[in-house]
Each structure stands twice: as structure tokens, then as C-alpha cells.
Structure 1
Amino acid sequence: MTESVADYRGEGECEAHKRTHTHLHTKTFTVLFPSTGAGAPIDDEHEDTEYEQFQSTLGDQDDNPYAPFLLRIDWEIAKWAKMRGPGSTAVSELLQIKDIVALLGLSYKNSTELNKIIDEHLTSGRPRFIRHEIIVGGEAFKVFYRDVIQCIRALYGDPEFLGVLVFTPERHYTDSDCKTRVYFDMHTGRWWWDTQKALKKLKPGATVIPVIISSDKTQLTVFGSRTAYPVYLTIGNLPKDVRRKPSRRGQILLAYLPSSRLEQHHQQSRSPSSPRECIPQVWYLRHQDHERQRFVHCGHPIFAVYIGDYPEQLLVTCCKSGTCPKCDIPPNDIGKILHTVAQVGGSSAAFSLACREAGIKPVRHPFWVQLPFVNIFRSITPDILHQLYQGIIKHLIVWLTEAYGAEELDARCWRLPPNHHIRLFMKGIMTLQRITGKEHSDICKFLLVLIIGLPLRDGVSPVHLVRAVRAILDFLYLSQYPAHTSDTLRRLHAALESFHQHKSIFVDLSIRINWKLPKLHSLDHYVDSIKLFGTTDNCDTQYTERLHIDFAKDAYRATNHKDEFPQMTIWLERREKILRHDAFINLKGVWFNQAVTSYGTSWIRDALACFIVSFRDPLLTAPEIERESSRITYRWDKLWIWHKIKFASESIHDVVHARPARADKYGRPVPGRFDTVLMNDGTGGTSGIEGYRVGCVRLIFQLPPEASQQYFPNSVPPGHLAYIEWYTAFTQPDPVHGMYRISRSRDRNRSLRASVVEVRHIRRGCHLYPVSGAVIDRSWTSSTVLDECEHFWVSPFSDMHMYMSLF
């Protein structure tokens, strides 16, 4: 070998790297799908949301936000008992302490009564579990599942996702010439666009609902053999940021499948099928009856993506171990085999023989075989955790150990300097057992520096080895970009090509004999998969494995460990109801008139009309907005209300409140609180007053679905909104103390000026001091001074971020 080895990271590539990073941080140019009907309702009739339906069941308890619980403490203890509590028996023992129920004013005195309230009066918005028995080889297996269509309806119609659902595919580009494509969320990929186009020919105006299924067997106990086999469902209409956060509840537990190894069946059945061959049959039987159903709606659920590790991918595609679940089996072969089996009478022997000749498992009825627009091999997506961290990186560490020896690598590992982002393995990495994906991720941050400058045995040049390691690390990091352009995908492909160019060094060192590694081969499909379904964080098994904690392990711990699955499903249903009710309490529908009287939003109707007009056409002038707003009518009568906005970033942690007067649990009055904020008019920078103005937040709200359908039928509706009362613009700071003086902004009739704005334009909260003479007005109080005083000083001293921002 010689040192003159071409490096794919040449000067031109470095410039391309800088250019693509610039593109990823700039606004994209969007090409919308050429259809105005996708995502539109069938008619103008309004169907009540789950929150509205639940509100109607409360009757005369409309003024109690915690109903059916009596008081806040009644609800908080119930929430603790089901979300963080020790267990039903311990909760009952706690409540049996003398007088505790009476002292706290609880509506239940044990877990049984609490469960009855939850079961009879709360709703989760999600379907109940169904218990079903299936027979395989004469053996009965219990399956717990939910109706898949009802699960999709629950996600599609969840009020929590109002304003974030995506209804149509889009093409995004880095420039107006549409030369460089950008991929990120699922709706920016080619699959949705192509499927929408094909569906449009059959059903004009139809909406694609991409169904995403994931499954994985998991251990329920640290010791022992108790396992669960959960199957999860979500939809591609939800942005990936929502789908991958368990707290957003964008995933639904669809089923618990039998996790038995079928040993009894293997010993007693006369069927030639082995236990390994029976497991896929159990899996498919539970999908067959449900995936074929369709919405009686303009939305069409279409199975799009399957997420799972390599054994699960083989199970779903009927492929055998060692083969590729994406490209080794032509999609039409299974259909041909099934047709051939039908012609010979469907005998088990003939069927098994035909499948064996095709290299697939003998599964008679794969759930996907008759689903429209489905190519199961294309639906298999990249798996960063198992294919890279627990696959290629795991192999790479072993190869480097054989090449250089564990002693020297660990010696270098011990001497790495500390850094905030680097985990130090003070005992080295070569003696680690059962290394997790997270640990492999930590090791990747310094793996390359461990081998730089190390010589190989027999005087072999290490150039090819170093470049092979660099290429794999480049591929690893590039593959996890949250957004990709055509340029970054070329770099991803080039990184893989570079590894293949240099990998022969491991064969020369007698570390590898061949490269028959399915996980290495799977990397060939990453670029095409990203183009089809968006970036890899749309389908990473790391996120679904996190769901095991909530949906399997915690559920199991809440049981008595005997016949656990019925108990687990009930526990999960009650937990979902608690989470749903918690969201309902934080999101209340308020009548227009109530918004005026309780929140002081005197001009809410006029301000909202102006906002709707300007949002639909930002180029209108003020007179045009005023003229068009007079034509806005309200065919709905409630707003969805929030009481605070949280700001959280590396530089700021802040909360803004907008809450009316109320009574506490003892009936004592609590005054309202309406905070002041810094608003960005679109031109404000990271510091200084230019482009900013102060306003008082009187109402934080969102339009209900019927309003969005009325005003924004063909576009994405606005998200969270705020009703703001304005203060005058900044002028010059006081020459002595340097603070800015502002006043309440009024029109010629002395009425307060107010507007409806998008919450995203609020920079942060700000603190005002009342302007006073030598003696401050004694009638002012902390809760009334903002309403009764006219002039204020803007304080820069509330926190360091405010101090740095204002000057």
C-alpha cells in the first residue's frame, strides 16, 4: 500500500459541506401539492371534539375545571396515585389513615372507588383493548389489541394536535430555482407525494394518512424470562418532533402480541412448522382483519413505514436470516408464490416447498399482501440504533482492538482531557460488557483520536484504516442530520463509498475474511429511504424502545405479576384517561362573552377579525384590513384557552401568565394576573430595543377546529394566539438612570389599542415599574397597578438575559 490514497473529503467537498450547512439553517422554498381538496372535510358539519363531548357530560359542573373530581387537591392526589403512586394497596392503606379523607375533602376513600371514578367518568379519547384468543397448531394464545382504525381516528382527531397535523405532501428546496431538494419531516419525502398523486386519480380530494407501525419484544424483569411483545402505532401527519416525544402522546399502544416460544406446540403438533415459523403467523393474524379497513372520510390510512430491528424486519417481510429485507426478495415473488399454492390446493407441504425455493418463510396471509399502495420491502426504514451503534460501530471497536491491541487503546482512553460533551471511561472501553447504544454513541465522540498516530504491525501503513474509520463516523453523523439536502445526501453516499474503498485493510490484517454483514449492506439503502420518508429521526428505533418503559415495564410493575396482561391493559387505559384529563384541565373552552368579562378582552371580536384577514393576506394595507374584517362572521362561540406561556432555552427560562381572578380551594379570592411581554415585530434582533414593543397579554388562546375550517380551508391554520394590549413605542432612555418610559397606548377615543398576535412573536416577559411622584398612589396594589397606572419604566434588571437583551 502507498500513502497516495484519494480522500473524498477534498477541498471541494469542504466547500460543499459549508454550503449545505448554510442551506440547512435558512428558510426553504416550498412547492405545494397541486390539489386543494386534500385535508378538507367532506362537508361543513362540525363534529364535537373529544374535549367538547366530555364537557357536555359534566352538566352543572361546568365551572369546576377538575370535574368529576371535587377540588384541585382531589384531582392532584388522584393523578399522583395513578402516575407516580406506589400501587393500589399502598394508596388504599394511605387513605385509610384516620380522618385523612375528610381532612383533604376527597371524593374516594380507597383505590377501588378512585378506579370507579376513572373508569366511569373519564375518557382517554382512545379505544379500549380487546381480548382475543387465536389458535396456532392447536394451541391457544391470548392477544390484547385495539381497533387500528379507531386508533388512527384518535390521533387524527386529538385536540392536542390541532394546528400541528400535516395534511398534504410538500417539496422543499434551498432556493427559488428548485434545484436543491430538502428533506426533513415525512411529508417532504417522495413517498407521500407519489402516493397522494396515485390516490388522487382514484379519489380526488382524498388525504393520505401514513400509518407507521413498530414492534419489538422486550424484557419485563431484570431477572427471569417475563417478556412482552408490544406493537405501537402513529401517523406521519404528526411532525417527527411530536412523534418521538413520549410526553406528547403521539404514539398509541396497538397490541400486546404473544411472546411465547411455542415450545408446547413444537412438541405436540404434527405440523411440520417449527416454532420459529409459527411466530410470524401469530403476528400476522392480529393485523389481517384490521389493516384493510378504511375511514368513511376523505382521509385514507395507508400503511407506509415499519420500524423494527433486524429480526423484526425479517419477520414482517417473511425473509430469512442473513438476507436483506429490502432488496433480496422482489416484491412480486410472494404474490406469485401464493397464487401457485392456491392452484395446487393449498397443501402445507407444497406451500412450504414453494416458500423454501423462494427463500422466504411460509406465512400464508401476510397482513400487507392485499393492502393498496403498499410495498413492504420499501417500507423497511433505517435503524440507527441497531444497524450503526449496535451494529457497525460495535464491529469497528472489535476490529480496532484486534488491529492495535486493547492495552494501548485503553491507555489513550484514560488520558483524554475532560470536556462537557465527552464522557470519560476511566476504566477504558475494552473491558465493557453489554455496551448500550448510548455508550457506543459516547465512544464515537473520541474513537478516531484513539488511533491517530498508532502504527500497525509489520510496518503496514495505517492510512487506509484511519480513513475507513473516519468514513464510518462521517456516515454515522451525516445519517442523523435532522434535515438533508441533495448535497448532504451525496456526502452520505460518498462517505459509504469511501469506507468500501478502504475496508480491505481489515482483510489484509486478517481481521475480516469477508464482508457478508447484513447491517453493513443495510447502509446502502439509507439515501433512498431518506428521499422516500424524510430523515432517519422519523423512524429511529431509539424512540420506540423508549416507549417500552411506559407501555410495558411500568405497566408490568403495576400488576401482581400473575396473568399480567389483562392488568397491564387496564392500567394503561386508566393512565391514558388521567393524562387526557390533565390536558383537558389545562385547556378549557371559554365563551366569547366570558373572555370579555373575565379576561378584559374588550375588543376581542374586532381584533381577531383583523388578524384573520391579515393572516390570510399579509400584503393588505391597514384600510384594506379594516374593510375586509367587517365581513368576518363567527359561526362558533368558544375559544380554547391557556393560562401561561413557557420560554425555555440555553439563555432564558421564563413564564408569562394570563389568568383571570378566581377562588382557591377554600373559597378565598385570588386576583387575576396578566403579564407584560416584549413583542418582536419581525425586525427585532438578539439585543437592543429596535423592532420591539411592550404589550400586556390578556388572553392566550387557539381557534377551535370549526374556526380553522371556516377561515383557513386550504392552508395551515395559525397556532397559539394572544390578545395583547399595547404600550407606546420606545423612544429615548432617561438620561439619569437609563430606563425607558412607556405609556398605555390609546386611540383618539381614549380606548386601549389591542391586537391579536401569534404567540411565536413574543420574545419573553418583561417587568414594568409604575411612574410615580414623591408619594405613590396608595390605591394601587400589586394586582391592579397595571390597569390603574398609565406610565411605566421598563426594568432591565429582572434577570441577566433581560439586562443583556435591552441594552
Structure 2
Amino acid sequence: MDHTFHLHHHQGKLTVILVVSLSLDVSVFFLTVPSEDARHSSVPPAHEVDAEFHGTGKNLFCNYHTGLNAQPCDANGHFLPPSTPPLPLTEQLPDDWSPFRNCTEFETAEFLYSRAQMSAPNINTLLDLWAASLLKHGDMPPFADHKDLYKTIDNIPIGGVNWQSFKIQYSGEKPDILSRIPNTNHYSFLNTHVPSWMSQQFDVWYRNPREVARNILANPDYVNDFDYRPFHEYSVSKEEHHYQDFMSGDWAWKQVDILATDPDTLGATFVPIILGSDKTMVSVGTGNNEYYPLYLSIGNVHNNVRRAHRDALCLVGFLAIPKTTNEHKETEEFCDFRRQIFHSSLAKILETFKKPMSKPEVARFGDGHYRRVLYGLGPYIADYEEQVLLTSIVRNWCPRCLAPRGKLDDDEALCRCEAHREALFKEDTSDVLRRDFGIVGSIVPFTNDFPRADIHQLIAPDILHQIIKGCFKDHLVTWVEKYLHHVHGKREAERRMDDINRRLAAATPFTGLRRFPQGRGFKQWTGDDSKALMKIYLPAIEGHVPTDVIRTFRAFLEFCYLVRRNVIMEDTISQIEDALRRFHHYCSIFLWLGVVPTFSLPRQHSMKHYPDLICLFGAPNGLCSSMMENKHIKAVKQPWRWSNRYNALGQMLVTNQRLDKIAALRVDFAKCGMLNGTCLSDASAALAIELSIPNVQDLIGRFLFEQLHPRDPRDHATIPLHSFPIYDGKISVVNSASSRFYAPSDLSGIGGMRREHIRSCPNWRNAHTRYDCMFINAQPDLEGMRGLQIAHALCFFSFKYKFVLYKCAIVHWFDVIGDTPDEDTGMWVVQPSFDGHSLNILVIHIDTIYHAAHLLPHYGVDFIPRAINFSNSLDKFRAFYVNKFTDHHAFEIAF
């Protein structure tokens, strides 16, 4: 049964028909047309707060907003007395594996479908082999075939939100063609030349986003990473504001200020809805292999949860991608239709949120309590092209402010807002709106249908597309190449680009750092490629470009690393603004030299808004489109590869629903303690061999003397060798050392923990040697590089002496050059250390190792020989930069 409804633009210029199709056991629903003005006016802020001290490692002072205090209630919405315990999260018996018969069945299904992603024929083959092996025992495998496996997964009663669809179609005026009737003098109007897109129906698939949000609220995995109320966080002295997770920002606080004026909302929980969309290609072959996924999260979960693969960012829809012929794709009618179909689709998908945005509904949370919930449309994550579509502006204008597209660096530009937009609609024609304000007047953003929503204020910062891919790769790196061609001519410029590529290829290895064996001369760039290039690019161009270009890159990189921090303080915002000022000052050299005609570039201009956006939404790393890029793989690309490629979308929807069911059931089993000890732990082994290094006994003897006599005041270098202990026992050598440390600003694991390997390997991947460098904690009472030393790891080993196990490393030291970092690059410079004419080598305890260090050669102005590569560059240069841009942890300590 189909229901046809109509949505009409309020200016009458475009009409869109939505034909609702029922599928996947979805009940009938009705589409209502919202009023044009559904907003609430602003009210004075509430000042009443709750105070609490908390924090990790140091005390922080929090002011919690009391307007909506997230008070627990029962299933009917009646508030509970204080300290009432929650109801049990589940009534499930500890041996109830339904719909599976036992743990083995569940883990087999999870492994084959979610982890191994095995195809149906391969599943059948494996189960047949399994059955053959059990035949002599009279037993059978967990499943008969892939159909049995899929049927069992589909019977999981939790986790899946059914998919449904509607059709959307143009219903405006169609062009009529005046045509002569053959053999007569009469004419008639025909529609034979109507563009195909005007009569075509486009499918939009989605699942109820409110049910998806309720599933996130009810997930017990997020209990310890969840904020029930907006808060402002300060240092104990209350002198510095800290911005971290989304609810620590000012936007959520101001939203609750508005909601708290209604007596019916008191005691409720505010749940901001975070949206994001981004087109993605699943292949570069023929056919329509482009998809338009829509994602949803909530602002209450912490940033690290949203960034990690913990299902806090969920797929809720596939938007339509209208296509037409080359003849019509640039016409104003088709462009307006493409914009309107986007906004009408979002309004339709999100309509279930509208009622509980003003009147609370009851939902269960992961801690077991019920609470009354009020939703609100929060930030929208999108790249610039998507932001243009979202805000209905003309390309090359800013979606957040009114700076003219030719003068985006105008500091006097006012912020855009919906009230100003509506006022302009009443006063000016569409031509004036487009020319003077960059507004596409025929389209109204979808937020017009929802209370307290202004799309211009909800545009989120996008570090990946705006900063890393946009400003760095598309602008600065490209400008360097243009500069070389502009100054040196084509042939010399290409020779210098080849040298820069060889420098990039010669960068020493580092854990987690992507290598560029052919330089940057490849076509298919990813976000990870751009992030990796940022870490090693600065020293590679030194000597080929002016000092102001080097300082431009330094300021830009410092801006990037500051805005990507997990916790941003007011002092950090001042540093961000300083880096931004230096960037704009030094990058003007590209304009003076005629390399670029203008700096009025929207992605570069977006950097100016970051200080304000941090105050509104917290640390930008929790709202970056890189999360959607990662989600594309699991939600779009892998399901497409599993499909038979014919009408693939329907198969992809089923795959996503099954994955969600398995993930939800795992959470359900885990909270019942049913999966403890069911997985095999990782196993590791070390190869013990005799160490063969000249003078190793002397080095170990000196090390043992230092361990046994830590307070001996003498200079150990002057103590005779015969005074040292003698060790001639067995030595176990390993090729790497690993450590775990807290690094929340990096894309780390759960809780901000990161595992790092430092390698000392004579045969790395059967091709080259690899000996990493390290920061050594020399003087803990001094900050930054003044308390650290740089060492080159030559060997990791362990041995026992008098029943004590010593874990050590043989290192070659580097000496710091100068008392301050290099003025141009902002990085410290070191050189190999010598003891007379020999390398300064010692044995140290691995407890003194602080962090892996990355050194980049100080290339200077000379071209490097072709024989130098990444495996030998540490032995070929006289000086090196200590790369503070290699990761966030190095940026924090190498200052």
C-alpha cells in the first residue's frame, strides 16, 4: 500500500512529491507538512549550577547546568526518589544464548559474518569440512549452511531498526513545446522534450533515527563515557575554561537555557542529535557505484567513543543522488531540484524527532534508569561542498558568515543566522540575495521545520576536509610546486620536485607513520596520506623555498596540532589564534610572488571560525568527517563487496541490519557476563640468541655498576673498567619494545590509550635495517626537550644478574645543538654524539625510555644523492630535526 503526499516550497517555486513505500515489516506512517515558523525565541540564560570536583591526574572544577538535571524516572515518566537504584538491565538467564543454542554458535556466527566477512559459498565449504570432521563422532557443526546462519542472525530480537523507504519526485511545472500538427496549419503543446529527471522517481532509504538514537542511549557500553547534562569545566583556580567533549561547549548549555524556561521540561535530559553525510564511491568501474549515506550520533557520548569503532556513529539512511544528461545538469531548475530533494529528504527522515523536541518522551539509558528525554538538532558534519548544499548558499561563499566570496578574509563580516535570512527573503529579490549575500533564495534549509535549529550555527568544524585535505594538500603543497615552476622554470622545478620526493622517501621509519617510497607523485590521495605527509613535509622543502614559506608551514602545522588536541584550554585557543595570525602573515609571500591570485578560499577561510567553534562544540576531533570516512568502509564499501552487485543497495541494507543485530547481542551477552574467557588471548614469543656486539661486556658492566650503585657521586666514565661487574651469561635479544601510554589527542584506543612499538631490527620486512630513535627521560624536573635526550636504539635485550631481570637497550646518543628550537621550523636540532672518535654508545634501562622519537635529516640546500634512502639516512647526515609533528604526543613533549 502506498501513500502519496506533497511538500510545497513556501515561495511556490518548487514542489516535491514523496511517495512512501512500506518494507521490511514497517508499519504505515503519515507525512505532515510542518509550519514555516517553528522556532523558539531566545531567553535569558539560567545561572543556577551544580559544582563538582573531578578529573584525571589533576582536579578540575565543573559547573553542571541544573535547568535539565536528567532526573531518573519510571517507565511512565514519574520521577523517582533520590538514590533509587535502577532496574536490572536484563532479565536474561546466564545460559540463554537465544536465538543461538550456545556460545559456540554465537561466536561462530560473529566470526564468519562480522569479522571474517566470509562469502556464502565459502561458509558452505567450511561447514561441509567441519561436518566431515565431526561425522565419526556423530556430531554436527553449528549451522547446516549459510542460509541457516543468516536465518539465525535475522532472528536476533534486538539491535536492528527496520529499513523503510519513500520515493521523491519533481511535481512542478514542466516545459511545453509548441509543435505543428502534420498536414495542417494547427499547433499543439507537447511534452516530448521534458528532461527525464522531471518525471523520474528517486528512492530514499532510511530507518527511524529516533529509534537509532534510543539504542545509543540504552547501550551499557557507554555508561562511563556519557554526559547527562551540559557543563563548564575549569581548572581548580577557575581561571581557565577547558573544552573537551561535546557537552562541555557553550552550544549545549545555551540550548538548555532555552528549554529550562518551560515547566514541562524540568528534570529531563537534553540529547543533541549530531548528523553527517558524505558521498562515497565503492568502485571506479562502470555503473552507478556512488552512494550517499547519512549518519547519526548523539552529543552525550564522549568524543573518544564517537571516534572509536564502538557503534556510537550509526548509519540511518541512503539519500538520493539525482542524475541527468549533460544538457540539463547545469540548469538552474535541476540544481534547485537537487538542493530541494536533499532538504526535503532530511526533513522527512528526521520528522520523528519533532514532537520530543518540545515534549519529553521516556527512554531507557545504559545505566538501567529511565529518563525523560528532549532532543535537539545539533552540529552537522560535512565537507565544504556539502555545507554549500546544507546552507543553500552560492559556492565560494562562507556558510557561517557574510564575508563576500572575493573578500573572505574580511574581519568585519557578521555571522549568518536564520532570522537575518528570513528578513532578506521579505525585502530582496532572488537576484539580490544571490549577488549581495550569496544566498540561493529558492531553497529553505531543512532546519526550518524544527525548533531551535539554525543551520548556519550548526555547521561543524571539519578538520579532515577543511584543514588537512583542503588547506594543506590542495592549497599549500600545490602552491609550493607552483612556486618552483614560477621561479625556476619547468625543468629546474621538476628537478627540485624530484629532490623533495627523494627527501620524503628518505624519511626514517616511525611506528604508525606512512612512508612515501616514491615521494608524493601518486594520484589517489586519501586522508591518511595527507596526514602522513604533514608530518615529514616541512624539512623536505627547506632549501628549495624562501624562509617565509617554511614559517607558513610551521604556523599551519602548529594550528593543526593544536585544534586536534583532545582537551583544549583557553590558553590553547590563544595559541591557535596566534598560529593563525602567523599563518596569514607569512603565507602572503605566495601572493607577493604571484603564485596565487587570491587567498579568498572557503576552506582556508574556515580556519578563522575554529576558536568560536571550539567554544561552542568542544574539541573538534569529536566532530571530524574522518569518522564518516572510517564508517564508509564498514557500512557501505564492505557490504557492497559482499553483494552480487545487482541491485546492491537492498543487500547492503540487510547486511547492515545483521551487523547491528550481532553487535547488539554481543553487548547483551557481555553485560550478563556470558562472554568472559571465551576468546583466545594473544600469544607472543621472543627469540633468545647470543648477542654479538664489540665491547658489549664493558657496556653491560658499566650498566650494572650504575644499577647497583645509583648514588655513587663519581663520574662513571672515569671509573676503571676492572671496577665494573663482569657478566658473561645468556642474553635474550628482541627486535622491538612496546609501551602503552595515555594519548587522548591521537586517534587512540578506548579511553585514549595507545600502544607504541620502538623497533631495533637488522632485517626489517626482509628488506632493510630499522633502528628507531627514542626520547630518554634524563632530567624529569625540566620541561620539554631540556629534560630529554635523543637516543638511537641499536638493540633491545634482557638478562638476569643475581636473580634480578634487567630489560635494557644499547643506544647511540645524539647531542642537542643550541639552547632553543630552530627559529624557522620550530623544531629542535640534534647531531650524533661521539666519545673521542667513536660513537657514544651506552646500555640503558628501558624504564628510562619516555617515547619514540622521529628524526628528519637537516637537508640544507644541497641535493641529496640517490643512494640515500629511509634505511640509511640516520647514518648519512650530520644534523637532524626532532620532528614534533609526527604525532600529538611528540608535539606535547618536544618543545
CA contact (8 A) 2:104 2:142 kept: no
Distance 2:665 2:289 in 1: 32
Q: 1:381 aligns with which of 444, 456, 460?
A: 460
AA aligned to 2:200 is E
Percent identity (aligned): 25
Name the structure 2 match of 1:75: 106
Q: Supply the AA of the counterpart residue of 2:201.
A: A
Structure 2 match to 1:371: 450
1:502 alignment counterpart: 586
1:293 equivalent in structure 2: 355
Q: Taking structure 1 as reference, are residues 293 and 550 closer, same or farther at Cα in structure 2, changes over 3 Å only?
A: farther
1:469 maps to a residue whose letter is F
**CA distance change for structure 1 residues 327 and 24 in 2, over 3 Å: closer, same or farther?**
farther
| Displacement after TM superposition at 1:579 (Å) | 1.7
Choose the corresponding residue for 1:391, options 453, 464, 470. 470
C-alpha distance in structure 1 between counterparts of 2:102 and 2:674, whole Å: 20
Q: Is the 8 A contact 1:85 1:91 kept in 2?
A: no
Aligned to 2:90: 52
Task: Name the residue aligned to 2:153.
Answer: 118
Is 1:229 paired with 2:265?
Answer: no
CA-to-aligned-CA distance 1:310-368 (integer Å, 9 cap, x gap): 11111111112111111124432443466689xxxxxxxx8798777753335555320
What's the counterpart of residue 427 of structure 1? Answer: 518
Residue correspondence of structure 1 range 195-274 to structure 2 within 5 A: 195-202=255-262, 203-224=265-286, 225-246=288-309, 248-263=310-325, 266=328, 273-274=332-333
User: How far did residue 543 of structure 1 move?
Assistant: 1.2
CA distance in 2, matches of 1:432, 1:364: 40
* Distance in 2 separating the partners of 1:318 and 1:353: 15
RMSD: 3.7
Give the deviation of 1:531 after TM superposition.
Answer: 0.6
Deviates more, 1:395-404 or 1:521-530: 395-404
Moved more, 40-49 or 201-210: 40-49
Once residues 186 and 338 of structure 1 are traced to their aligned partners in structure 2, the CA distance between those partners, rounded to angstroms, is 33
CA distance in 2, matches of 1:201, 1:377: 24
**How far off is 1:472 after superposition?**
1.2
Tell me the secondary structure at the aligned position of residue 361 of structure 2.
coil
**Partners of 2:204 and 2:318 within 8 A in 1:** yes
Change (3 A) 1:797 1:86: farther
Matched, 1:408 2:441: no
* Correspondence for 1:694: none
- The answer to whether the 8 A contact 1:200-1:206 is kept is no
Query: CA distance change for structure 1 residues 556 and 453 in 2, over 3 Å: closer, same or farther?
Result: closer
Say whether the 8 Å CA contact 1:180–1:485 is kept in structure 2.
yes
Query: Matched residues in 2 for 1:369 and 1:582: separation?
Result: 40
Q: What does residue 128 of structure 1 align with?
A: 162
Q: Give the TM-score normalised by structure 2.
A: 0.57
- Structure-2 residue corresponding to 1:140: 201
| Structure 1 residues 797 and 303, CA gap change in structure 2 (3 angstroms) | farther
Q: CA deviation at 1:190?
A: 0.7
Cα drift, residue 131 of structure 1: 2.1
Residues 676-705 of structure 1, C-alpha deviations (whole Å, 9 max, x = no match)? xxxxxxxxxxxxxxxxxxxxxxxxxxxxxx
Residue identity in the other structure for 1:129: W
Per the alignment, residue 190 of structure 1 pairs with 250
Contact 1:39 1:299 in 2 (8 A): no
Residue among 156, 160, 175 paired with 2:236: 175
User: Given the alignment of the two structures, is residue 109 of structure 1 paired with residue 144 of structure 2, yes or no?
Assistant: yes
Aligned match for 2:527, one of 408, 429, 437: 437
Q: Deviations over 1:786-806 (max 9, x none)?
A: xxxxxxxxxx999979x999x
The one-letter code of the counterpart of 1:116 is K
Q: After TM superposition, give the deviation of residue 387 of structure 1 in Å.
A: 1.2
> Structure 2 vs 1, CA of residues 359 and 116 (structure 1 numbering), >3 Å: closer, same or farther?
same
Aligned with 2:617 (options 516, 520, 533): 533
Alpha-carbon distance between aligned partners in 1 of 2:267 and 2:300, rounded to the nearest angstrom: 16
Alignment of 1:160 with 2:244, yes or no, is no
Distance change >3 Å, CA 417–CA 215, structure 1 → 2: closer
Whole-Å separation in 2 of the counterparts to 1:104 and 1:50: 38
- Cα distance in structure 1, aligned partners of 2:255 and 2:331: 40
Matched, 1:331 2:418: yes
- Secondary structure class of the residue paired with 2:519: coil
Q: Distance in 2 between matches of 1:28 and 1:441?
A: 32
Q: Deviations over 1:757-789 (max 9, x none)?
A: xxx9xxxxxxxxxxxxxxxxxxxxxxxxxxxxx
- Please say if residues 74 and 104 of structure 1, whose CA atoms lie closer than 8 Å, have aligned partners that are also in contact: no
Query: Please, what TM-score do these two structures have when normalized by structure 1?
Result: 0.63
The change in CA–CA distance for 1:449 and 1:97 in structure 2 (over 3 A counts) is closer
Q: Which amino acid aligns with 1:296?
A: E
Structure 1 residue 109: deviation in Å?
1.9
Using the alignment, how far apart are the partners of 1:107 and 1:409 within structure 2?
59
Alignment CA distance shift 1:338-1:205 (3 Å): farther
Taking the aligned partners of 2:88 and 2:123, their CA distance within structure 1 comes to 30
**Residues 321 and 264 (structure 1), Cα distance of their counterparts in 2 relative to 1, 3 Å cut:** closer
**Aligned counterparts of 2:448 and 2:556: Cα–Cα separation in 1:** 36
Q: Which moved more, 1:305-314 or 1:393-402?
A: 393-402
Gaps of 5+ in 2: 1-54, 171-197, 363-371, 403-415, 485-492, 685-750, 752-802, 809-844, 848-895
Q: Counterparts of 2:528 and 2:392 in 1: how far apart (Å)?
A: 30
Sort the Cα spacing of 1:565 and 1:494 in 2 relative to 1 into closer, same or farther, 3 A.
same
Match in the other structure for 2:567: 483
Match of 2:629 among 535, 540, 545: 545
Question: 2-side partners of 1:580 and 1:49: how far apart?
Answer: 19
Maintained 8 Å contact 1:324/1:518:
yes
Tell me which amino acid in the other structure corresponds to 1:376. Answer: I
Change (3 A) 1:516 1:50: farther
The residue that corresponds to 1:643 in the other structure is 676
Report the equivalent of 1:630.
none
User: Larger % of helix: which?
Assistant: 1
Q: What does residue range 561-600 of structure 1 map to in structure 2 within 5 Å?
A: 561-588=645-672
Q: Which amino acid aligns with 2:462?
A: D
TM-superposition CA deviations, 1:49-84 (whole Å, max 9, x none): 99627x3xxxxxx45343322233322332233222
Which one of the candidate residues 64, 71, 93 is aligned to 2:95?
64
| Cα separation, partners in 2 of 1:569 and 1:321, compared to 1, 3 Å | same
Matched residues in 1 for 2:804 and 2:649: separation? 56
Contact 1:337 1:355 in 2 (8 A): no
- List runs of 5+ in structure 1 lacking aligned partners: 1-22, 56-61, 342-349, 457-461, 589-639, 652-759, 761-795
In structure 2, do the counterparts of structure 1 residues 506 and 278 end up closer, same or farther at CA, with 3 Å as the change threshold? same
- Output the amino acid matched with 2:207: R
- Are the aligned partners of 2:169 and 2:201 in contact in 1 as well (CA < 8 Å)? yes
Q: 2-side partners of 1:306 and 1:259: how far apart?
A: 19
Whether contact under 8 Å (1:69, 1:107) holds in the other structure is no
Structure 1 CA distance, aligned partners of 2:421 and 2:453? Answer: 13
> Does the CA-based 8 Å contact 1:266-1:275 persist in structure 2?
yes
Higher strand fraction: Structure 1 or Structure 2?
Answer: 2
Match of 2:440 among 361, 364, 386: 361
In structure 2, which of residues 29, 40, 65 is the aligned counterpart of residue 33 of structure 1? 65
CA distance in 2, matches of 1:641, 1:107: 18
Secondary structure at the aligned position of 2:524 is classed as coil
1:275-354 → structure 2 map (5 Å cutoff): 275-289=334-348, 290=351, 291-294=353-356, 295-297=360-362, 298-328=372-402, 329-336=416-423
Change (3 A) 1:480 1:98: closer
Structure 2 CA distance for partners of 1:363 and 1:28, relative to 1, 3 Å: farther
C-alpha distance in 2 between matches for 1:357 and 1:36: 42
